[in-house]
Structure 1
Amino acid sequence: MKFLVQRLAVLVVALILAGCAGVPRRADLPSGATPHTIYLVQFGWHTALLLEGAATLEHSTKLRTDFHDTRYLMVGWGDGEYFVSEHAPWSKAVKALVASDYPALQVGGRDKNPPLGAQARDTVALAITERGFQELVEYIDRSIATDANGKLIYLGDPAEHPDRFYRATGNYSVFNNCNSWISDALRKAGLPISSFNLTARGVFEQAQRIAALQHEQPTPN
């Protein structure tokens, strides 16, 4: 218990510092044509990405195995036990922060934007380049673990949830959570997001600032 309290105390300090981090500059925005729009979606303490379905499946060698003809794909990352369970007990959330066994990637087809469970104020539209989009999809593919035979590792019961849950690469912890994974994904897409983001609010507010800067500057022909 003492160890847990110490870790949570460090987290509180980290969250305070994170509020001051990551003010994007216009000079750091993606240069050149930005034909793709991705959406950051906030669900309370959790963030996810909403991507163009057809373009994502065109570039992904793993997701096209399970998805076809979907307008959007929503992607998120989290602890392999707590994230996958529909009604996980609070004890699993605590365990995920200090002793997660493995992470999971959640991917689901969506036909609306904003997706179910979110409102317009919960989404931020971000413009990225073709190269940035490819880098983002490659990052998502690398985040999906495979077994010794190169097969995808599925988690959870598909009958209980319409989305797919894949065993993911990396290590989930209090300092490497769903929001920091999203931050890494956005940086792969070429967006100037701070590398130190542990809260959904921190990621979302930075994305809002970037979107505002993008809206102000003229779109290249």
Structure 2
Amino acid sequence: MAAPTRRALIRALKRTGRIARAVIGWAALLLGAYFFAGWVGSSIPSNRDFRQAADGVEIMIGTNGVHTMVVVPIQSPDMDWSRIFPASELADPSRPYTHLGISWGQKEVFIDTPTWADLSPWLVLRVVALGGDGLMHVEHWVNPQPGANYRPLRISHDQYRALVRALLRDLPPRSPERQRYPGYGTNDVFYDARGTYTAYLTCNEWTGATLRQAGLPTGAWTPFESSVMKWVPQPEGGGTR
């Protein structure tokens, strides 16, 4: 290789390296700004006057460490969830289910990643950059127990009815055309939902928006799991699900 050509190649490699470092630096800066904005937004209280009701409905806010959900009793004087999410749509409808865990997220992530090992970095980057269609995940449980990951709140009947409306805001009406998909096990199922997943409207911000609409304690913007859970006290004595 002639000396001028070699020098040109070296200059091109150096220029490429500078561009790559700049791109990585800006990406790291944007990521840091996003996390900082999430911390600030989730630290601004919504519904700061909330007090747990002496008499009302006990719900729970659940987490798997990354993703949050709202847990509600299937039957109560204010709502019969079996009309909306019947157990007959499960792989195992025979168990005496008492509660539902309801959450929302990005369709491709929900359906194509049954375990965290299935979640590729490329999928994460694509979802963060481009977003995607929303999907609702509904888990049916039998007498879930309060604990560090399932934290109870006793709310008034008015608040619970507002919570019901908030949980249903992105669910299309039940009809033969409403699409559903098999869940990860025998006790859960997915439903097509309204809304588009974005870097702003994450699965956890959907939970936070649901709580805000019902007058329950949360932050002004809750993009992360910790953004939601830090507003819900753990039950005394801990416990497990």
Q: 1:63 to 1:23 in 2, by over 3 A?
A: closer
Aligned equivalent of 1:152, options 178, 190, 195? 178
Match of residue 45, structure 2, among 22, 27, 33: 22
Percent identity over paired residues: 18
The one of 49, 57, 68 equivalent to 1:36 is: 57
RMSD: 3.3
For 1:101, the equivalent position in structure 2 comes to 132
Contact kept, 8 Å, 1:80 with 1:102, in 2: the verdict is yes
In the TM superposition, 1:5-154 aligns within 5 A as: 5=27, 8-18=31-41, 20-22=43-45, 25=48, 28-29=49-50, 34-55=55-76, 58=80, 62-64=84-86, 66=89, 70-85=97-112, 86=114, 87-114=118-145, 120-145=147-172, 151-154=177-180
- Say which SS state the counterpart of residue 140 (structure 2) adopts: strand
Deviates more, 1:64-73 or 1:189-198: 64-73
| Counterpart contact for 2:45–2:219, Cα < 8 Å | yes
Quote how far apart the aligned CAs of 1:11 are. Answer: 1.3
What does residue 231 of structure 2 align with?
A: 206
Q: Over residues 104-140 of structure 1, what are the superposed CA-to-partner deviations in whole Å (9 max), with x where a residue is unaligned?
A: 11001111424xxxx8211221111112212222222
What count of residue pairs does the alignment treat as equivalent? 202
CA distance in 2 between counterparts of 1:71 and 1:180 reads 26
Query: Residue type matched to 2:41 in 1?
Result: A
In the alignment, the residues of structure 2 paired with residue 167 and residue 33 of structure 1 have an alpha-carbon distance, to the nearest angstrom, of 36
Match of 1:191 in 2: 216
CA distance in 1, matches of 2:44, 2:110: 27
Structure with the greater alpha carbon radius of gyration: 2
Amino acid at match of 1:200: E
Kept after mapping to 2: 8 A contact 1:60/1:138:
no
Residue 166 of structure 1 corresponds to 191
Q: Which runs of 5+ in 2 are unaligned?
A: 1-19, 237-241
Q: 1:190 to 1:99 in 2, by over 3 A?
A: same
Is contact 2:68–2:103 with CA below 8 Å preserved after alignment?
Answer: yes
The letter for the 2-side match of 1:20 is: S
Evaluate the alpha carbon distance shift between residue 57 and residue 129 of structure 1 in structure 2; reply closer, same or farther with a 3 A threshold. Answer: closer
* Aligned residue identity for 1:21: I
TM-score (norm 1): 0.76
How many angstroms apart in 1 are the aligned matches of 2:82 and 2:51? 22
Please give the alpha-carbon distance, in whole angstroms, between the structure 2 residues aligned to 1:110 and 1:150. Answer: 25
Higher strand share: 2
Distance, in Å, in 2 between the alignment partners of 1:54 and 1:140 is: 15
**SS of residue paired to 1:49:** strand
Q: In the aligned structure 2, how far is the partner of 1:195 from the partner of 1:132?
A: 18
